Amino acid sequence: MSRPLVFEERDPIQAPLRVRQAGAGDRDRWNAMVAKARVPPLACFEWQAILEESYGVKCLFLLAEDETGRIRGMLPIFMSQRARVRRGYGLRFGLTTMDAAAATALLEEAERLSGAHRLSGLTVCSGYGTVELPARWRGDSRTTVILDLSPGEEKVWKNLRDKTRNAVRKGAKAGLRIDWDTAHLADFHAIYLDLMASRQRPAHSLAFFRCIFRHLPQYARLLTAHAAEGLVGGTIVLCTPSMHMSTFQAAAANANSRYNATTFMEWEMACSAIAAGAKRLDMGESTLDSGTYKFKTNFGGVAESVNYLSWAASSGPASRASQPASPGTSARQRVAGATLEHGPMWLRRLAALRRGRSGRII
């Protein structure tokens, strides 16, 4: 269920707003507004350094200010290229505003900058909130699953399906243990990379994960699950006082059939969030009625919309130059796809890492 993006009731701002690019001196004010919005820390100012250091992409972090210099809204954008198409993306939960005027001003400036940088289009995310769409923008939504933690650990446990509780017990009986130590990051990344490669999905580099923990030590934690043979799974958890979020989760081959490692990790993550005083656990986006979605709702989670806004460049020299010469999947691409599907794991790993460097990186 969506709600209006505006998170502070105020009289409409009549004075014109100024939109500019944020600098290093704006970091604390930027992050204070992200915290006030009560969303996952996916739009903190530090993501600019993470993206630039890991992938060398150009970022445009936009601020809307009133005549007193007070921040009325923010929109962090990065630019990425895939198959010769250069496009802009907003960080998830990035469009954060105090009023409708700020949202409009930010989207208009983002549209202008997209044209100046010859982008084929731009997609931004307003998170759980909705905004009024300016001309030439269209809206879309995806589904995440939110677990309400406010009843406390005992009640949340009782709300689990019997099958889910039994899966958690199976992991405990098998001797799975949980650790919260970034010393296991490289071993976790190896499991994550193999999972992404086997599914022919884009994968992030180990350098990217290390950047997250270097720049976001106050938000990022690494949960790992260990069996007798060693590490069998893990997830990067992003934490705020009010909400925790599961990201980049992976389990080793056969770890779920032997230990129900993913279910065990999800429960331990919920317990940790409750102990920290968080009231919500965002279990991540998934397709309605998919296996992943049903797995999350078996925890008692409820579907909630995550809202996206997209703008496409008009046809013209700039947009034509940014489009691939021949649309569709070529014979060469089909052969390459078949090779990767049945090729050696080392080749699939390289392909996954290469895909992770383009398009919507995060």
- What pLDDT is attached to residue 38? 85
Q: What percentage of the chain exceeds 70 in pLDDT?
A: 88
Residue 239 near residue 35 (C-beta atoms within 8 A): no
Cα separation, 113 vs 96, in Å, equals 18
- What pLDDT is attached to residue 324? 38
Q: What is the DSSP letter of 313?
A: P
Contacts of 217 (CB under 8 A, 6+ apart): none
Mean pLDDT of all residues in 43-53: 96
Alpha carbon 296 to chain centroid, angstroms? 17
Residue 77 corresponds to which amino acid?
Answer: I
- What pLDDT is attached to residue 320? 39
Contacts of 158 (CB under 8 A, 6+ apart): none
- What pLDDT is attached to residue 338? 62
Assess whether pLDDT exceeds 60 at residue 250.
Answer: yes
- What pLDDT is attached to residue 5? 56
- What pLDDT is attached to residue 37? 87
Tell me the pLDDT band of 13, cut-offs 50, 70 and 90.
very low
- What pLDDT is attached to residue 245? 96
Mean pLDDT of all residues in 287-310: 93
Mean pLDDT of all residues in 222-228: 97
- What pLDDT is attached to residue 323? 40
Comparing 325 with 207, the larger pLDDT belongs to: 207
| Interior angle at CA 96, CA 21 and CA 33, nearest 5 | 80
Mean pLDDT of all residues in 318-345: 55
- What pLDDT is attached to residue 336? 57
Q: What is the DSSP letter of 314?
A: P
Tell me the pLDDT band of 332, cut-offs 50, 70 and 90.
low
Q: Kindly report the average pLDDT of the chain as a whole number.
A: 89
Tell me the pLDDT band of 172, cut-offs 50, 70 and 90.
very high
Q: What percentage of the chain exceeds 90 in pLDDT?
A: 76
Give the pair of three-digit tokens for residue 243: 């909400």
Tell me the pLDDT band of 319, cut-offs 50, 70 and 90.
very low
Assess whether pLDDT exceeds 50 at residue 322.
Answer: no
Tell me the pLDDT band of 342, cut-offs 50, 70 and 90.
confident
- What pLDDT is attached to residue 325? 40
- What pLDDT is attached to residue 357? 86
Assess whether pLDDT exceeds 90 at residue 267.
Answer: yes
Q: Which domains does the chain show, CATH number per domain?
A: 3-142+307-325 (3.40.630.30), 150-278 (3.40.630.30)
